[in-house]
Structure 1
């Protein structure tokens, strides 16, 4: 999903609107746009993976077969040949968004969910895990067996 400058310019205003109107919900493009906006503001090499490619579907199952140009288009900020410091994977569930964060400095990932649902109950057996680990593998060259995603400790998630 391409992020245009005008999308980045509108993101803060849309977030303010959503903050003040609790009957409105973020959609996938808004989540993606906001994470891309944040990635531009941080001082680390951060990649945001389009949430649409994390949906289990035949076209998303063989990450290694995705042509380079299409792969780069699905990963905002990705520069082939450079290992990202942070990789963000927004994940949509019905009426709820969660986030998987891969931190290269620790070689580990975290599943962050404000509803306090552990990764094992939300993603265990879920077809998204192989897609996420395949994206991490392709960007970092870490063997899939060495990629582990753990629950982020709930004590670090601020209450709503």
Structure 2
């Protein structure tokens, strides 16, 4: 009986409540991403961000995927495509409503960005400890790749 009480109290203290729309981070296109603490300037995601952002003269185009709602908040990815290849990927919206979100995404988002560029597709692995963010990232990444016509 003692073990059951201990396990139950451990489970209760680890339970995380979170509003899916509160505490998200949005980084405007053309601004640097997160610093080492995982913080970025918060703002609301706009519907205009889910369409193609721009087409620079260098032959590269920037495309923003659809925002994907997760249980911890929305995730949205923007990619840069040059000559039919993904050359840059950035999560522009991701959960950061509390210190745990910031801690997880400080390592998960850069790893996902790098993995997306390396793979050149949405066929990437999820990041251990950041499964929910990874799943949202992959969904938004696939949307951006589809919009880019890849």
TM-score range, shorter chain: 0.3 to 0.5
Larger radius of gyration: 2
What's the TM-score, normalizing by structure 2?
0.33
What's the TM-score, normalizing by structure 1?
0.32
Structure (1 or 2) with the greater helix fraction: 1
